[in-house]
Structure 1
Amino acid sequence: MDELIDVLDADGNYTGKSIMKSEAHRKGVFHPSIHVWFYTKNGEIVIQQRAKNKDTHPGLWDVSVAGHIGAGEDVTDSAIREVQEEIGLDVAETELHKIGVFKYIHQHHKDLLDCEFHHTFICELKAPLSELEMQESEVADLSLITMPKFQRELESELHSKKYVPYDLDYYEAIFQAIKKKL
């Protein structure tokens, strides 16, 4: 779905301009997004398999919930909205714990350069995975994975290809933030 999003400079600062998401991706314009990583009390992480029809990383396993921040939309409001849309879960602002903003650049093909700043949150999953309602256009599957297994797979040349290729430092920041909450 195309939508109007804010334009950021290369340092993640808002420029006061807006652009359609499709144009931002075509031209490699920086823009904000949200990531919400859900974890359980016993140290499992919810991962999402992206729908096969997605423009970016179709079929790969990814963050629990991700999405673009609409033009003028508050970051936390965007995270709450995306969680509700993608997995049918209502979360309160107080349940979301922001751990940072991470710069991400990925050239998918000649007409798609993704330049984002991921506003990243962690949140404890208090509902059973089976109760989550996947948005078909975005989510193919949801799964729980233990942190040690996830770390091993990310470091394995064979298994790492099934995940969205973020820097290992990004994943490590997620693991460390979750470990502090457990």
Structure 2
Amino acid sequence: MTNNEVYADIDVVDENNQLTGKATDFFDLHNNNLLHRSSQIWFIEDDNLIFQKRGKNVKMPGILDASVGGHVDTGESPEACAVRECFEEVGLKISEDDLGEEYIFRICEKIKDDWFENEFRHIYFIKRDKFDLTYNDEVEELVRVPLKDLKKFHSKNLGILFSEWSNEYYDFIFSILEKKFNIKFD
């Protein structure tokens, strides 16, 4: 979502990922360190992982992130959120059946003085030979990185294209790629 959009209500959860309420203000959610859910999809195309370079008008502009992702709205499942975000951000229509196995990563980091990232990330991978993708102003560009070079690319660009707080998260992603997709990193 852009900085100028009205945000939907977002479910707040407890340490067991169970609903406890909702936040009606996106900024209040992050400023007050409220635990919530997000969904992310990573696209594997041929031998590349596709990153979204965040648009100039969204939070953390210019940072590389999952192929698509966003907050789970109130009453929405993580799977439905992933399907919605996929169409909104890159114009790709998928179904929940396309998502495959779900991985959950808990992140709780202070990004800056008044901004916390405190969420359960529901993560999915979709592998295809070719993706036909378009994108809106939330996305500056889609960046394809050869899977074998992924770890080197990440460490070389830490603090430049990747947020500095993302190491543990990306180690989790690398581990899934190694185990599920038999990726061998250089």
Mark yes or no: TM-score above 0.5.
yes
Distance 1:30 1:83 in 2: 23
Offset at residue 99 of structure 1 (A): 3.3
Correspondent of 2:17 among 12, 15, 28: 12
Which residue does 1:144 correspond to in 2? 144
Shift of 1:66: 0.9
Unpaired runs of at least 5, structure 1: none
Deviations 1:44-69 (A, max 9, x none): 111110112222x2211111001001
Residues 127-156 of structure 1, C-alpha deviations (whole Å, 9 max, x = no match): 44xx411111x10100211112111122x3
In the alignment, the residues of structure 1 paired with residue 177 and residue 51 of structure 2 have an alpha-carbon distance, to the nearest angstrom, of: 13
Q: CA deviation at 1:97?
A: 1.7
Instruction: Say whether the 8 Å CA contact 1:95–1:124 is kept in structure 2.
Output: no
Letter in 1 for 2:19: Y
Correspondence list, 1:68-87, <5 A = 68-87=71-90
Aligned to 2:135: 134
Give the CA RMSD over aligned residues: 1.9
Percent identical among aligned pairs is 25
Per the alignment, residue 37 of structure 2 pairs with 32
Alignment TM-score, normalising by the size of structure 1: 0.86
State the shift of 1:98 in Å.
2.9
> Once the two structures are superposed, what CA deviation does each residue of 1:74-127 show, in whole Å capped at 9, x if it has no partner?
221111000000000011222112331111123222221121110000012454
Q: TM-score scaled by structure 2? A: 0.84
- 2:162 corresponds in structure 1 to 163
